Amino acid sequence: MVHLLQFCDRSGPAGSILRFLRFAAGAALLAITLGSLTACAGQARVAGIADETPVILQTRQVEEVTVSVGILSDEQAIARFGVDLSSGDMQALWVRIENDSPQRLWFLVAALDPAYYSPDEAAFMFRAAGSDSDAEQLRQRFRDSAMRLMLEPGSVNEGHILVPYTEGGRFVNVELVGHERRMRFGFAVLLPDGDFDYERLNPERIYADQGLPELGVDELRASLEGLPCCTSNADGDRPGDPLNLVIIGELDDVLVALARSGWSFTHRITFRTVRRELGAAIGGEPYPVAPVSPLYLFGRRHDFALQRARTSIAQRNHLRLWLAPFTFEGESVWVGQISRDIGIKLTGKSATLTTHVIDPAVDEAREYLLQSLLVHHAVRRFGFVRAFEPTPRDVPRLNLTDDQYFSDGLRLVVMLARDPLAPQRARNLHWEEAVGPIAPLQDGAAGGP
C-alpha cells in the first residue's frame, strides 16, 4: 500500500493528504503485520500489536538459513515504539532469521553496524518527560522488540536493531557464525521518500521493444571501446564528463555491491531537493543524498546515480550509470561516469545555477571505485578498455561546465561477484594497463576471462 503512494508529488495540499495516507497506511500495515517479535528472553509481545507475520522487504537464503530484512519508516517506528526515532537520528531495522541448520549460530550485530544502539541506551535517549513508569515502559518496549543474537538450531527469530539514521536506504550486512562456519547476507534496502532517482527506475522498460544482443568476451571489448568518449548535454551536441566506467551485473547486484562499498542513493532534481541543496551549500552542511546533475548517453539522462558524501556538500565522489543495449553472460551491462567533486561554484550553465567542481584527475575516482569494490569482496573480474586518446595535464579537456580534466583515456570494466570474493581471487582481464595515479592490481594467480 505504501509503495503505491511513493511516486506521487508530495508538495502542496495533495502532499498533505498523501503524507496522512502514508502515515495511516504505515500504521495500519504495522499493526497488522509487524507483531510477532521475538524478545531477547522469552516470547514477550507488545500490547496492541497484532500477532502476525512481519512485512518482508528482502529475503536471501544460503543453504539451510534464510534471512529477511526491512527498514521501518518513520511512521511505522512511531506506531511500533511510541517515539519518533528520527528525531534522535535513529532508525529501526527489522531482521528475521530462520535457522533450519543443525548448528547454533551467532548473529554478529556489530558487523551490521558498529554504531548500533542497545535497547536501554535508546530508551535513555528517548526517555519520557513524564513519570518513571512511562520511562520504564519505554525501556521494556525496546527490550521486548530487540533481535535475539544466539540462534538455536531449528529456530525462527525476529526483532529490531536500532542504528544511526540514513536517508533513502542503507546496506544491511547480516553475518552469522558457528563452529568453523561463517555466513554473510548482504541487502541494499531502499526506503523511498518520493524524491530518489531509483524510485523511477524500471530496467525492463528501457529496452522493452528490443531484443538485446548477448555478447562474447571479444564482442564485449569491441562494443565498450566503440562507445562515445563522453557523456553529453540533452541535445547531444556538446561533450561532458568522460565515460570511464562499466559495471556488469543485475541491478540488485549493482546496488548491493555499491551500497556495501559505502555508496548511497541520490535524490532527483526537484524544487524541494534544489532548495535543500542550496541551503546546504550556503551553510556548508552535509546533504548525503544530494541530487546529481543530469548528463546524457543513449539519448537519455542517466538511469540512476550514487555517491559517497563527506560532511560538507562541496565534497563527494559520485557516479552515474546507464543501462547498455547489450548483455554479457546473461547479465546487464551498465556504462558509467565517475568523478570526485572538490568544491561548488556558481554557473549559468546549470539549471540550479550551481554545480560541483570536479577533481581534474578523473582517473583517480575510477581507481577509487575499483579499490572500494575489491576491499568489499565485490569483484569477480576487472580490466580496462580504450575509451579515447589520452588527455595530458597540459592540454586538458573541458566538461559541460568548463571544468578541466585529464586522463589516460581508459575505461574501467568491473564484473561483479554475486558471492563475496577475496580481492586476490579477482581476475585481471589484461586488456589494457592503466597508468593513472593508482596502479591496477596485478593478477599473479591467473589471467584472462
Query: Quick check: is 169 in a domain?
Result: yes
Would you say how long the chain is, in residues? 449
What is the reported pLDDT for 175? 96
Sign of the Cα pseudo-torsion (23, 24, 30, 31, in order):
positive
Query: Quick check: is 82 in a domain?
Result: yes
Q: Encode pLDDT of 59-111 as tens digits.
A: 999 999 999 999 998 888 898 998 999 999 999 999 999 999 999 999 999 99
Query: Quick check: is 177 in a domain?
Result: yes
How far apart are the C-alpha atoms of 347 and 344, rounded to whole Å?
10
CB 105 within 8 A of CB 183: yes
Tell which of 133, 158, 190 closes a domain.
190
Lowest pLDDT segment from 115-124, 205-214, 435-444: 435-444
Q: Quick one: pLDDT band at residue 434, thresholds 50, 70, 90?
A: confident
Helix, strand and coil percent figures for the chain, each rounded to 5: 25, 35, 40
Q: Quick one: pLDDT band at residue 285, thresholds 50, 70, 90?
A: confident
Higher pLDDT, 45 or 419: 419
Q: Radius of gyration (Cα) for the chain, nearest Å?
A: 24
Query: Quick check: is 280 in a domain?
Result: yes
With cell 496492541, the residue in question is 48
Query: Quick check: is 161 in a domain?
Result: yes
Q: Which amino acid, one-letter code, is at 45? A: R
Overall number of domains in the chain: 2
Reduced to 3 states, what is the DSSP secondary structure of residue 178? Answer: strand
* Domain containing residue 374: 197-428
CB 320 within 8 A of CB 231: yes
Residues 279 and 383 in one domain: yes
Q: Encode pLDDT of 74-83 as tens digits.
A: 888 898 998 9
Residues 40 and 171 in one domain: yes
- The 10 Å CB-count burial string (b at 16+, else e) for 319-349 is bbbbbbebbbeebbbbbbbbbbbeebeeeee
What lies within 8 Å, CB to CB, of 395 at 6+ separation is none
Mean pLDDT (whole number) for 385-398: 91
Q: Quick one: pLDDT band at residue 353, thresholds 50, 70, 90?
A: low
Higher pLDDT, 333 or 392: 333
Mean pLDDT (whole number) for 321-344: 91
Give yes or no for residue 327 having a pLDDT over 70. yes
What lies within 8 Å, CB to CB, of 196 at 6+ separation is 168, 190, 265, 266, 267, 268, 289
Residues 217 and 311 in one domain: yes
Reported in sequence order, the residue ranges of 347-434 that DSSP labels E, i.e. its strands, are 354-358, 379-386, 397-398, 404-405, 410-416, 427-428
Higher pLDDT, 118 or 318: 118
Reported in sequence order, the residue ranges of 302-417 that DSSP labels E, i.e. its strands, are 304-309, 316-328, 331-346, 354-358, 379-386, 397-398, 404-405, 410-416
How far apart are the C-alpha atoms of 331 and 203, rounded to whole Å?
12
How far apart are the C-alpha atoms of 35 and 64, rounded to whole Å?
25
Residues 133 and 229 in one domain: no
Q: Is 72 exposed, middle or buried (0-12, 13-18, 19+ CB in 10 A)?
A: buried
How far apart are the C-alpha atoms of 409 and 392, rounded to whole Å?
10
Strands in 230-232's sheet, in edge-to-edge order, are 239-242, 230-232, 296-297, 300-301
Query: Quick check: is 433 in a domain?
Result: no
Q: Quick one: pLDDT band at residue 313, thresholds 50, 70, 90?
A: low
Mean pLDDT (whole number) for 396-408: 87
Q: Quick one: pLDDT band at residue 173, thresholds 50, 70, 90?
A: very high
Mean pLDDT (whole number) for 348-371: 77
Residues 261 and 353 in one domain: yes
Mean pLDDT (whole number) for 200-204: 85
Give yes or no for residue 47 having a pLDDT over 50. no
* Percent of the chain topping pLDDT 90: 50
Using alpha carbons, select from 234, 232, 221 the residue that is nearest to residue 381: 221
Residues 226 and 97 in one domain: no
What is the reported pLDDT for 85? 94
Give yes or no for residue 219 having a pLDDT over 50. yes
CB 84 within 8 A of CB 77: yes
Residues 185 and 206 in one domain: no
* Percent of the chain topping pLDDT 70: 78
Q: Are strands 214-215 and 316-328 parallel, antiparallel or unpaired?
A: parallel
With cell 555491491, the residue in question is 257
Which backbone phi and psi does 380 adopt, to 5 degrees?
A: -95, -45
To 5 degrees, how large is the angle CA 300–CA 388–CA 293?
Answer: 35
Mean pLDDT (whole number) for 137-163: 94
Residues 329 and 371 in one domain: yes
CB 183 within 8 A of CB 175: yes
* Grid coordinates given for 113: 553496524
What is the reported pLDDT for 131? 61
Residues 113 and 260 in one domain: no
How far apart are the C-alpha atoms of 165 and 363, rounded to whole Å?
32
pTM, 2 dp: 0.75
CB 262 within 8 A of CB 308: yes
How far apart are the C-alpha atoms of 277 and 298, rounded to whole Å?
28
Residues 94 and 228 in one domain: no
Chain-wide mean pLDDT for the chain?
80
Query: Quick check: is 445 in a domain?
Result: no
Residues 184 and 203 in one domain: no
Paired residues of 322 in beta bridges: 335
